[in-house]
Amino acid sequence: MHGSLGQNCGEARPLLLFTGTYKCPLSRCLLIPQKTTKAKVMKRELKSKVFWRAVLAELLGMTLFIFLSLSAAIGNRNNTDPDQEVKVALTFGLAIATLAQALGHISGAHLNPAVTLGMLACCQISVFKALMYILAQMMGAVVASGVVYGVRPGNTSALGLNSLNSISPSQGVGIEFLATFQLVLCVIATTDKRRSDVSGSAPLAIGLSVCLGHLATISYTGCGINPARSFGPAVILGHFRHHWVYWVGPMCGGVAAALVYDFLLYPKYDDFSERVKVLVRGLGGEYDATGPEDSTASEISSKFSPDDTKMELSIKSLVRMEF
C-alpha cells in the first residue's frame, strides 16, 4: 500500500499494516466487559459434562435416600411405637450422612429442594442449576417411591406418606418451617468455606441434624423437611391432602435460614453485582460442580506475567511506517 504523506516528506515509503490477530497483554489483567445473556449461560451449562454429572448425582442420591428411608419406615408393622420413630430417624440421618460423604464432591449432595433453595438464596448456586437440581430430586423421589411400592410387604399398605397428626395445616407449616430452618442452617454453616474452625465430619453433622428433625417432629407431621421426600409417595399413592404444607413450610424455612446466616449471623460483604453474577452465571468451583474443563469465569488477575510487565505495546507490532 503506497501513499503520499506530504510534499515535505520526500518520496513516499511503504506503509505496512498488521493484518493478523493481536492479543493485548492487558487483557489478562483488565476486566473487559462482555455481554453474557441467560441463554448463553444455559447453553454453556447444558454442554458441560461436569454439570450433568452433578445433576445425575442428585438424581441417583435422591433415589437411594428415599429407597433406604421409606424401606425403614414401612418395614415394621409397629409404626406407631416410639422405637419405630427412633429407627426411622436414625435411618434418615445415616442415609443423608452417607450420601453426603459419597456425592458431596460431585454435586454438593443437596438431596433436598429446601437445601437447594437455601443455597440459591445465599448466592452459592445459579438459578438454572437450582432448577435442574430440584427437578432431579423430585424425579429420584418418585422413582424410589415406586420401587418401594413394588417391593413392600403384602401385609402393609403404607408408603411413608406424610400426614398431619391432630394438628392444623398452619401448625404443620410452623413445625416444618422450624425443623427445616435448623437443617439448612446446619448445612450452610458447616459447609461455609470461610470457616477454619470446623472439626469433625460435616456430612455426619448434617446427618445428625436430619435425625434431630425427625425425632422432634415425626409425631406431628411425619417430618417432611424435604419437599421431594413428601412428593414421591404422594405421587405414587395419588394422595395430596395437605401436601402444600410440606412445600411451604420447608421452602420458607430453607430461605429464612440462608438469609439469617448470610446477612445477620455471619454476613458476607460481597458486592451486589457479584451476587447477581453467581445467580446468573454460577460460581466457579461451587461444590466442585464446575471443573477446569468447563471454567469460563472472568477473573481479574492481580499480577502480570514477566512479558506483560514490560508493557511493550510497540507501534511496530500494529503499524510499521518507514519514512
The residue type at 10 = G
pLDDT above 60 for 109: yes
Reported as type and span, the H/E element at residue 17 is strand 15-17
User: Is residue 215 a part of any domain in this protein?
Assistant: yes
User: Is residue 2 a part of any domain in this protein?
Assistant: no
- Same domain for 42 and 23: no
Q: Which of 125, 131, 64 is nearest to 288 (CA)?
A: 125
Nine-digit cell string for 111: 438431596
CA distance 65 to 140: 9
The predicted model scores a pTM of 0.74
Average pLDDT, the chain: 79
Strand partners, 320: 16
pLDDT category of residue 13 using cuts at 50, 70 and 90: low
| CATH number of the CATH domain containing 231 | 1.20.1080.10
With b meaning 16 or more CB within 10 Å and e meaning fewer, what string describes 126-159? bbbbbebbbebbbbbbbbbbbbbeeebeeeeebb
pLDDT category of residue 188 using cuts at 50, 70 and 90: very high
Number of domains in the chain: 2
The tens digit of pLDDT for each residue in 199-252 reads 889 999 999 999 999 999 999 999 999 999 999 999 999 999 999 999 999 999
- How wide is the angle at C-alpha 112 spanned by C-alphas 212 and 128, nearest 5°? 155
- Same domain for 314 and 282: no
User: Is residue 268 a part of any domain in this protein?
Assistant: yes
User: Is residue 124 a part of any domain in this protein?
Assistant: yes
Residues of the domain holding 80: 38-294
- Same domain for 137 and 281: yes
pLDDT above 70 for 320: no
pLDDT above 60 for 3: no
User: Is residue 194 a part of any domain in this protein?
Assistant: yes
- Same domain for 154 and 25: no
Strand partners, 15: 321
What's the pLDDT at 74?
87
- Same domain for 168 and 277: yes
User: Is residue 223 a part of any domain in this protein?
Assistant: yes
| HSE-CB for 166 with a 13 A CA cutoff | 2
- Same domain for 196 and 96: yes
pLDDT above 90 for 314: no
- Same domain for 232 and 102: yes
- Same domain for 181 and 303: no
User: Is residue 1 a part of any domain in this protein?
Assistant: no
- Same domain for 146 and 210: yes
CA distance 205 to 198: 10
Highest mean pLDDT among 5-9, 36-40, 288-292, 310-314: 36-40
